[in-house]
Homo-oligomer: A and B are copies of this chain.
C-alpha cells in the first residue's frame, strides 16, 4: 500500500532520470551497495566525466547522496527522499545487477576504493 503520492510533474522528472539504462543500473546497484565513482567507471566502461554527470543528475534530484571518504566520494541511495518509495518500487521490478560488481571483484578492481 502506498503511503503518499508524488506530484505528477515531479514523478515524471524522476522517471525520466531512471529512464536511462546507465542511471537505472547505477541506482539498482546502489540499492544493495554503496559505490564510488571509479567503480562505475569500470562497470560501464564510460569516461569518468560521463559517470560524474549521471551521478550529479541523480544527486540534484535527491535520489542519491554523496559522502566523501578520504579521496573517494561514496554514493548511496537517499532513503530520506520523498521519491524513495517510488524508486524502491521501480527497483523491485528489476533483476539484480550485482553480477557487475562480482565481475569487478574478480578483476581485482573493487579494492580500489576500500
Contact = CB atoms under 8 A, between A and B. Distances in A.
Interface of A: 2, 5-9, 11-21, 24-25, 28, 85-86, 89-90, 92-95, 97
Contacts of A16: 15-16, 19-20
A24 B12 CA distance: 7
A63 to B, nearest CB: 13
Which secondary structure dominates where chain A touches chain B?
helix
B24 A95 contact: no
Given A11-B24, A16-B16, 4 more contacts: A2-B92, A8-B28, A12-B19, A15-B90
A13 to B, nearest CB: 7
